[in-house]
């Protein structure tokens, strides 16, 4: 707790109107948003690289964003860091009745149903921003599109708007692919973009039904692509050649070598 109090005190000093840092004093919720998003991605990067010294530092940078935003909110009389911490502690207790209460879940599926019901109850208990609220309210528009698609689908599924199993989602994916082919054949680029979006949305739905996190799966696929492509570059360098001078056939053969190595 001592270190937390020190961090809060340091942040308060940085925001002091007379003696604080000019840059820190200029910041507001919106100006900090790019930094908050960047720090979250840097945490993810450190985890994926297995660099835990860096992870400690990146978690600190992310914590700074929480403290910074909380300090601005406190100055505006909205809430403070203690309320943020208390709020998440209460939420954790509420969502884990088997740990902090007498509830016993038969299996993991029962626990997940309870978790989703708790989230639904919390959403319903929030004051409506507008009179015509939506069940999809509260899913941040700034999320990566793949992750937001997953969250939108999960929210709709709470209300029964979902396929009962994975098999029909495979069929939906094929249907969207066929529609994309038709749009390409028609030469309508606006329609192509729309159908491409539908195909990606269906792919997210399939991932969800297969218990795969699509954002994580794509990040892993990106890392695999980088690893294999860099192998091609390394092979060509060892031959004293440049990437742009290799033929498509050579690149394809080296790509297959990279796959075989894994």
Alpha-carbon dihedral sign for residues 90, 110, 212, 170: negative
* Averaged pLDDT, 239-260: 89
Residues 6+ apart with CB under 8 A from 137: 123, 129
**Quick check: 128 pLDDT over 60?**
no
pLDDT the model gives residue 228: 94
What tens digit of pLDDT does each residue of 79-124 get?
999 999 999 999 999 999 989 988 888 888 888 888 878 877 777 7
Is residue 49 scored above 70 in pLDDT? yes
CA distance 71 to 65: 10
The 10s digit of each residue's pLDDT in 52-82 is 999 999 999 999 999 999 999 999 999 999 9
Dig out the tokens for 229 from the structure: 């492509």
Give the per-residue pLDDT at 88: 95
Q: What is the DSSP string of the chain?
A: -HHHHHHHHHHHHHT-TTTS-HHHHH--HHHHHHHHHHHHHHHHHHHHHT-HHHHHHHHHHHHHHHHHHHHHHHHTTS--HHHHHHHHHHHHHHH-HHHHSS---SSHHHHHHHHHHHHHHHHHHSPPSSSS--TTTTS-TTS-HHHHHHHHHHHHHTTT-S-SSSHHHHHHHHHHHHHHHHHHHHT-HHHHHHHHHHHHHHHHHHHHHTT--HHHHHHHHHHHHHHHHHHHHHHHHHTT--GGGS-HHHHHHHHHHHHHH-
User: Which pLDDT value is given to residue 142?
Assistant: 78
Q: Which pLDDT value is given to residue 208?
A: 94
List the one residue out of 221, 223, 179, 229 whose CA is nearest residue 201: 179
pLDDT computed for residue 1 by the predictor: 65
Residue 20 and residue 79 in contact, taking contact as beta carbons nearer than 8 Å: no
The answer for residues whose C-beta is within 8 angstroms of residue 177's C-beta and 6 or more apart is 199
> How far is residue 144's CA from residue 193's CA, in Å, rounded to a whole number?
18
Which one has a higher pLDDT value, 125 or 240?
240
Tens-digit pLDDT profile for residues 200-227:
999 999 999 999 999 889 988 999 999 9
b or e along 164-200 (b: 16 or more beta carbons within 10 Å of the residue's beta carbon)?
A: eeeeebeebbeebeebbeebeeeeeeeebeebeebbe
In angstroms, the CA 123 to CA 117 distance is 10
- CA dist 258 and 262 (Å) reads 7
pLDDT band at 132 (very low <50, low <70, confident <90, very high): low
């Amino acid at each position: 707790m001592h270190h937390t109090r020190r961090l809060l005190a340091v942040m308060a000093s940085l925001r002091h109107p007379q003696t604080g840092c000019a840059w820190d004093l200029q910041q507001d919720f919106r100006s900090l948003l790019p930094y908050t998003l960047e720090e979250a991605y840097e945490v993810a990067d450190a985890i994926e690289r297995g660099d835990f010294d860096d992870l400690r530092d990146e978690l600190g940078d992310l914590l700074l964003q929480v403290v910074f935003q909380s300090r601005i909110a406190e100055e505006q009389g909205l809430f403070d860091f203690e309320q943020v911490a208390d709020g998440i502690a209460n939420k954790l207790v509420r969502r884990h009745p088997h740990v902090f209460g007498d509830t016993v879940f038969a299996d993991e599926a029962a626990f997940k149903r309870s978790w989703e019901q708790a989230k639904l109850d919390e959403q319903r208990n929030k004051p409506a921003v507008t009179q015509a609220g939506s069940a999809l309210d509260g899913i941040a528009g700034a999320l990566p599109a793949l992750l937001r698609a997953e969250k939108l689908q999960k929210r709709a599924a709470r209300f029964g708007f979902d396929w009962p199993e994975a098999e029909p989602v495979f069929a939906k994916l094929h249907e969207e692919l066929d529609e994309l082919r038709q749009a390409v054949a028609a030469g309508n680029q606006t329609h192509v973009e729309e159908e491409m979006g539908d195909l990606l949305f269906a792919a997210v739905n399939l991932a969800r039904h297969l218990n795969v996190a699509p954002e994580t799966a794509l990040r892993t696929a990106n890392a695999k692509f980088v690893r294999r492509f860099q192998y091609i570059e390394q092979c060509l360098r060892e031959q004293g050649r440049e990437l742009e001078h290799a033929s498509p056939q050579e690149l394809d053969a080296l790509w297959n070598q990279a796959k075989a190595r894994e």
